[in-house]
Amino acid sequence: MLKNLLDKNNNTAILLAGILAIIVGVGVARFAFTSLLPYMLEDFLSLTYAGVLASFNFAGYLAGAVFSIFIKDINTKVKYFRIGMILSIFMSLVLATTTNETLWLVSRIIAGFGSAMVLIVGASIVMVKLNFENKTKAMGIHFSGIGFSIVISELISQYVLKNGTWSDAWLALSLFAFIVSFYSLYILSFDNVIKKEAVKHTLSKSIFSTYVILLILAYFTEGVGFVVQGTFLPDIINSLEGLEGYGNLGWLIVGIAGIPSSILWMRLAHNYGSVNVIIIAMALQIVGILIPTLSTNIYLNLLSGALYGSTFIGLVALFLNLGGQLAGKNPVVLMGAMTAAYGIGQVGAPLYSVALIEHFGNYNSTLYVTAFIVFVGILFLLYAKRVEKVK
């Protein structure tokens, strides 16, 4: 068993390495910020500055997503994946060792770029390396790493916070990421024989049909739908009357619900079609977004977290996998373009969020606007289905 896990061409080893990479590049470099936000708000961050930091992080992610579109050679992909892993670790370490606001802004941008390299380029490496005829279900397992990344970063944070500070938690997370990164960097690479056979694929503009553009626009709205709860969910729950202190439990449930979600959604997509399943997932996400505006019931608000976790992770997997299938031999092209649109939604959402929160004094207006934008995404997808049917 151990020998198999050290085999670069073993499917189990490839999937494990991919999941661990996501824990580093997405869990530590991105979601730990959400987990630790209530504690950082208590003695360091203002809500506005937290929103700006989130926006800067997503701007770095957007830059990475656009950059990834032009990485065609598999050897170059491996190089930038490695760079992404290193940046994710060291930029998280910055948050543990300083409270300099400028350094935090810079580190969030660079960490965002690193996350994009790990998630987008890393996923394309996993897709190339896996030895399956139909890789849809396997990629569902790979993207379950996003759920694991939330759960593991949250558990590490909460364990450290029992006796330490949020900066201690950042330090522990950075150390954990450093240790597990060695395995991912080793497995997600190619030996000399495969290197010689690496093929460069040219970038084709013909894949950007009306249907694909509508999918990209829908993914933009999902980028907005992801951000508000993805940045503020623990604080949203803590801000509700009688629910103070339950925010991090809600966030843990997000991760737990997210772990099987991409596998289940991918299976449903295999049976009923990706676009149909994406529409259902986005509709459920709207319900989850609106729950905190309608009730202060603890169980309903924990359900909100579960709906969020079980949809946003599945939607990332569904959209990126669909992009990979539509793009053919160069999956990173369309996956990158779609994630760029998602990234634009991510950059704008924290900024309008903090503006509305400060104006109205609660999260309700932000959640209403976000739910409406996701609904527009469903309309784009319904139109995309009509366009495809006419074809």
d(CA 104, CA 52): 11
Between 61 and 136, the more confident residue is 61
d(CA 31, CA 373): 23
Predicted local distance difference test score (pLDDT) of residue 256: 95
Predicted local distance difference test score (pLDDT) of residue 221: 96
Structure tokens at 56: 């800067």
Give the pLDDT band of residue 332 (cuts 50, 70, 90).
low
Per DSSP, the residues of 79-129 read: HHHHHHHHHHHHHHHHHHH---HHHHHHHHHHHHHHHHIIIIIHHHHHHHH
Q: What percent of the chain has pLDDT over 70?
A: 93
113 has a pLDDT exceeding 60: yes
Between 2 and 260, the more confident residue is 260
- The per-residue pLDDT of the chain, averaged, comes to 89
Predicted local distance difference test score (pLDDT) of residue 314: 86
Tell me what the mean pLDDT of segment 138-163 comes to.
92
Reduced to 3 states (helix: H, G, I; strand: E, B; else coil), residue 21 is: helix
Q: What percent of the chain has pLDDT over 90?
A: 63
318 has a pLDDT exceeding 60: yes
Predicted local distance difference test score (pLDDT) of residue 193: 46
Predicted local distance difference test score (pLDDT) of residue 52: 93
Tell me what the mean pLDDT of segment 198-214 comes to.
69
Single-letter code of the amino acid located at 265: W
Predicted local distance difference test score (pLDDT) of residue 391: 64
Predicted local distance difference test score (pLDDT) of residue 127: 87
d(CA 190, CA 201): 18
Predicted local distance difference test score (pLDDT) of residue 196: 41
Tell me what the mean pLDDT of segment 96-101 comes to.
92
Predicted local distance difference test score (pLDDT) of residue 324: 74
Per DSSP, the residues of 129-161 read: H---S--HHHHHHHHTHHHHHHHHHHHHHHHHH
Sequence-distant contacts of 383-387: CB under 8 A, at least 24 apart: 383/214, 384/211, 384/214, 384/215, 384/218, 384/275, 385/275, 385/276, 387/210, 387/211, 387/214
Structure tokens at 74: 């598999």
d(CA 381, CA 387): 10
d(CA 155, CA 256): 11
Give the pLDDT band of residue 139 (cuts 50, 70, 90).
confident
Predicted local distance difference test score (pLDDT) of residue 242: 92
Tell me what the mean pLDDT of segment 36-56 comes to.
91
Q: Which residue has 């960490």 as its token pair? A: 111
Residue 317's nearest CA partner among 149, 138, 133, 189 is 138
Tell me what the mean pLDDT of segment 15-19 comes to.
95
Tell me what the mean pLDDT of segment 173-188 comes to.
96
390 has a pLDDT exceeding 80: no
Between 224 and 203, the more confident residue is 224
Neighbour count for residue 113 (Cβ, 10 Å): 26
Structure tokens at 68: 């990834």
Tell me what the mean pLDDT of segment 82-102 comes to.
95
Give the pLDDT band of residue 12 (cuts 50, 70, 90).
very high
d(CA 100, CA 117): 26
Phi, psi of 140 (to 5 degrees): -60, -40
Residue 77's nearest CA partner among 31, 134, 27, 127 is 127
Predicted local distance difference test score (pLDDT) of residue 135: 74
241-280 confidence digits (pLDDT tens): 999 999 999 999 999 999 999 888 888 988 898 899 999 9
7 has a pLDDT exceeding 90: no
Q: Any residues with CB less than 8 A from the CB of 320 and at least 6 apart, and which?
A: 120, 123, 139, 143, 335, 338, 339
Phi, psi of 131 (to 5 degrees): -100, 65
Q: Which residue has 């992770």 as its token pair? A: 313
Using a cut of 0.95, tell me whether the model's pTM lies above it: no
Tell me what the mean pLDDT of segment 86-100 comes to.
95
Between 332 and 304, the more confident residue is 304
Tell me what the mean pLDDT of segment 63-92 comes to.
91
Neighbour count for residue 114 (Cβ, 10 Å): 30
**Angle, nearest 10°, between helix axes 364-390 and 210-239?**
160
Contact 82, 24 (CB under 8 A): no
Per DSSP, the residues of 164-176 read: S-HHHHHHHHHHH
d(CA 24, CA 111): 11
Predicted local distance difference test score (pLDDT) of residue 202: 54
Give the pLDDT band of residue 198 (cuts 50, 70, 90).
very low
- 221-225, 250-254, 312-316, 353-357, range with the lowest pLDDT: 312-316
Q: Which residue has 């701007």 as its token pair? A: 59
Single-letter code of the amino acid located at 23: I
